[in-house]
Amino acid sequence: MSNLALLDETKAARIRDALWCTLVAALVVWFAAIPALDGNLSLYFSLMLWITMATGLNIIAGFTGYMPFGYVAFYGLGTYTTAILVVNLNVSPYVAIPAAGVVGILTAILFAPTLRLGGIYFAIVSLSLSIILQRLVGLAPDEWTGGSHGLYLGQKTDRIEGYFTMVLVMVAALLTVTWLARSRLGKALKAIRDDAEAADAMGVNVNLSRLYAWMLSGLFGALCGGVQAWFTGALDPITAFDILVTAKTVIYAMAGGLGTVTGPVVGTVILVWVDELIWRQFPILNNFLLGLIIALLILFMPRGIIGTLMQRYPRIRRFIM
Amino acid sequence: MNEVLLLNAAIGGIVFGAVYALIGCSLNVLAGVLRVINFAHGEFIIAGSFFAYVLFTAFALNPLYALPLCAVVFYFAGRVLYYLLVPRLAKSDEPETSSFLLMFGVSLMMVSVMTWIFEADIRPFNFSFEPINVTFFTIQDAYGEGRHGRILVPTARLVALGINAIIIMGLTWFFYRTLPGKALRAATMDREAVQIVGINIHKLSSIAFGLATALAGVTGVLLAVVVPSIDPNGGPDIVLIGFIVIVLGGLGHPVGALVAGILFGFVEQFSNVMLQQAAAQMVGFIILVAVILVRPSGLFGKAVTK
């Protein structure tokens, strides 16, 4: 270990970047090869979906310090935007999914006033807004949203193209957080998280910085929803705005470690596998075990796997993104 | 719109408002003393309903007798639960948000245990009082010439309202006239100062958790009497009403929760009568969002913005 300690900062940063890039590249190659290898498409699709969701949530929760307990709102609006455009207006998914992303960003701007709320109030309002949106979708005319039965994409569903689009969206999300972690904006966000007043005094534009973070989070949540609609081809208001979507996103991100770039990826990969194992073995107890994992994580490992490693072995901090 | 519907809404507003006030009170004990936002409160309440249900179906025990039993059992369960869950939370950077997530996990576990035992269907609770309804008064010509509109109120709701009023008065007395109650209010104001004057904060906190759990159980029994069907998946709906009430009244403020609970009961009952169903369901959430954005401290609390 003493050799590691002697490495100078630029060298450490180079090793850190190389490690992270290797991890991302390995993931992308692995995921992209799955259809050719006849792998379990649904499993790997959901792995990518959750990596992207957890990474998107990490931008606002980890980097900026807000816990959006209604994060599913972006996801749900994304699925509905895509499905409505594709089913009702016959738009290509390649246009509909970016449109879902735009809706995500616009929703984030619409909900921006909630960012002035602290801690638990933000969580409760965010949760309420997601429920309001779910009910609004239920109230919308049935010929648009399909009412409580939801919408079916039918022949426009495309699992292969949807799968590769998910690879693209995941790569975009990972590149975005990589950039964010080294950028001025990312440092501003962490300063706001730790002490908003001090950050303001140092000349950080607090409102604008956290709005950017919120918009990025919203964008990736909505994109995930959009691709999910294309991949599975069916959606309804209950599952599209299910609070369990938020819960899983939060848990996967926390398990790895909020505020680190690697954390949400590691947490998702481990927990989705565990979830898959649990789901197969004990379908009845699935939610019980999910709840248990949540409780144990909060009580015994609130910083997550990566966060705890960094805390226990400060020397490796320089090598983890 | 006629007078009968409006009067019924007003009576429903008082009955449900009192239940919501009780939910708000127990949530506020946790939020105020422990800084725990109990996402699993709805499941605690439903567990109370099932407690009465099991005693009634197995031993034909009147839910009114189940009430004190439930309070005692839930009190001790709550005190144990405190030592299992809460002390470790204090170390976290943002205890309230962590508790929110922690209790969400607890809520998931409780729902799956309850659906495992009682299955996912809604259980009818076939208990009724004699007479079933009490006729309040008659309005002449409510439905036009020569017909009478009567205001019928189920006896069960009146009994529940009476018990509820007694519990609320008892709580008020406890908080303002007894030493443990005063200690709890003091801990809400300043946890550190309370420890300086020699109060064992862990013991006090576990009493608070026990009290809140007992109140939740009692609320569950009352709710089973008022709405005689029990849904193991109904927890989130209940806890969200609880959140609306405590935010409206001011987080951690005992009197605020009472006023807000009754206010919300009226708003809910009147919007059920006056609006479409889906729109009526949204009213509560819109109030919640509006209150937080306009006056985040609630009607009675102090400022909280970041």
Supply the CATH number for residue A10's domain: 1.10.3470
Confidence of residue A179 (pLDDT cuts 50, 70, 90): very high
Strand locations in chain B, DSSP E? 123-124, 133-140, 148-154, 229-230
What does the alpha-carbon distance between residue B296 and residue B306 come to, in Å, rounded to a whole number? 11
Which backbone phi and psi does B139 adopt, to 5 degrees? -105, 125
ipTM for the assembly: 0.84
Domain that holds residue A74: 2-319
Both structure tokens of B155: 């006896």
pLDDT in the model for residue A6: 57
Confidence of residue B74 (pLDDT cuts 50, 70, 90): very high
Q: What percent of chain A has pLDDT over 70?
A: 98
Task: Using the predicted structure, report yes or no on whether residue A71 has a pLDDT greater than 90.
Answer: yes
Over residues B91-108, the mean pLDDT reads 84
Confidence of residue A170 (pLDDT cuts 50, 70, 90): very high
Q: How far is B61 from chain A (nearest CA, A)?
A: 31
pLDDT in the model for residue B279: 77
pTM: 0.86
Q: Which residue has the higher pLDDT, A275 or A272?
A: A272
Over residues A75-79, the mean pLDDT reads 96
Using a CB–CB cutoff of 8 Å, tell me whether A124 touches chain B. yes
Task: Using the predicted structure, report yes or no on whether residue B132 has a pLDDT greater than 90.
Answer: no
Tally A–B CB contacts below 8 A. Answer: 125
Confidence of residue B148 (pLDDT cuts 50, 70, 90): low
Tell which of B30, B84, B112 to mutate to test the A interface (max A CBs under 10 Å).
B112
Both structure tokens of A22: 């290797």
Contact at CB, B282 and A298, closer than 8 angstroms: no
Contact at CB, B282 and A132, closer than 8 angstroms: yes
What does the alpha-carbon distance between residue B170 and residue B157 come to, in Å, rounded to a whole number? 20
pLDDT in the model for residue B303: 44
Confidence of residue A168 (pLDDT cuts 50, 70, 90): very high
Q: Which residue has the higher pLDDT, A116 or B129?
A: A116
Q: What percent of chain A has pLDDT over 90?
A: 42
Rg (CA), chain B: 20
**Per-residue DSSP letter, B152:** E
Contact at CB, B96 and A286, closer than 8 angstroms: no
C-beta of residue A124 within 8 angstroms of C-beta of residue B247: yes
Contact at CB, A295 and B102, closer than 8 angstroms: yes
Over residues A208-236, the mean pLDDT reads 94
Task: Using the predicted structure, report yes or no on whether residue B147 has a pLDDT greater than 60.
Answer: no
Q: Mapped to the 3 state alphabet, what secondary structure does B132-144 carry?
A: CEEEEEEEECCCC
Contact at CB, B112 and A131, closer than 8 angstroms: no
Confidence of residue A251 (pLDDT cuts 50, 70, 90): confident
pLDDT in the model for residue B304: 43
Using a CB–CB cutoff of 8 Å, tell me whether A254 touches chain B. yes
Task: Using the predicted structure, report yes or no on whether residue B302 has a pLDDT greater than 60.
Answer: no
Confidence of residue B109 (pLDDT cuts 50, 70, 90): very high
What does the alpha-carbon distance between residue A39 and residue B37 come to, in Å, rounded to a whole number? 43
Chain B residues whose beta carbon lies within 8 Å of the beta carbon of residue A295: 85, 102, 105-106, 109
Tell which of B108, B115, B288 to mutate to test the A interface (max A CBs under 10 Å).
B108
Tell which of B109, B246, B251, B276 to mutate to test the A interface (max A CBs under 10 Å).
B109
Both structure tokens of B117: 């035992």
Which amino acid, residue A266?
Answer: V
Rg (CA), chain A: 20
Burial class (CB in 10 A: 0-12, 13-18, 19+), B166: exposed
Q: pLDDT tens-digit profile of A217-228?
A: 999 999 999 999
Contact at CB, A120 and B97, closer than 8 angstroms: yes
Q: Which residue has the higher pLDDT, A301 or B48?
A: B48
Confidence of residue B32 (pLDDT cuts 50, 70, 90): confident
What does the alpha-carbon distance between residue A184 and residue B300 come to, in Å, rounded to a whole number? 41
C-beta of residue A166 within 8 angstroms of C-beta of residue A52: yes
Task: Using the predicted structure, report yes or no on whether residue B282 has a pLDDT greater than 60.
Answer: yes
Residue A258 neighbours by CB under 8 Å, 6+ apart: A58, A61, A62, A264, A303, A304, A307
Q: pLDDT tens-digit profile of B152-203?
A: 788 888 888 999 899 989 988 988 888 888 888 888 888 888 888 888 888 8
- Mean pLDDT, chain A, integer: 88
Contact at CB, A294 and B108, closer than 8 angstroms: yes
What does the alpha-carbon distance between residue B85 and residue B125 come to, in Å, rounded to a whole number? 32
C-beta of residue A120 within 8 angstroms of C-beta of residue A135: no
Q: Select from B109, B289, B306 the Cβ nearest to the Cβ of A292.
A: B109
| Count of domains observed in chain A | 1
Q: How far is B246 from chain A (nearest CA, A)?
A: 11
Tell the residue number behind the tokens 């709550």, with chain if given.
B78
β-pairing, B133-140 vs A234-235, is unpaired
pLDDT in the model for residue B141: 53
Task: Using the predicted structure, report yes or no on whether residue A318 has a pLDDT greater than 60.
Answer: yes
Task: Using the predicted structure, report yes or no on whether residue A213 has a pLDDT greater than 80.
Answer: yes
- Mean pLDDT, chain B, integer: 85
What does the alpha-carbon distance between residue A139 and residue A132 come to, in Å, rounded to a whole number? 10
β-pairing, B123-124 vs B229-230, is antiparallel
pLDDT in the model for residue A74: 97
DSSP A207-249: HHHHHHHHHHHHHHHHHHHHHHHHHH-EE-HHHHT-HHHHHHH
What does the alpha-carbon distance between residue A13 and residue A286 come to, in Å, rounded to a whole number? 41
A76-109 as b/e: b if 16+ CB within 10 A = bbbbbbbbbbbbeeebebeebbebbbebbbebbe
Task: Using the predicted structure, report yes or no on whether residue B136 has a pLDDT greater than 80.
Answer: no
- Highest mean pLDDT (candidates A82-96, A196-210, A214-228, B101-115): A214-228
What does the alpha-carbon distance between residue A44 and residue A33 come to, in Å, rounded to a whole number? 11
Which amino acid, residue A320?
Answer: I
Task: Using the predicted structure, report yes or no on whether residue B143 has a pLDDT greater than 60.
Answer: no
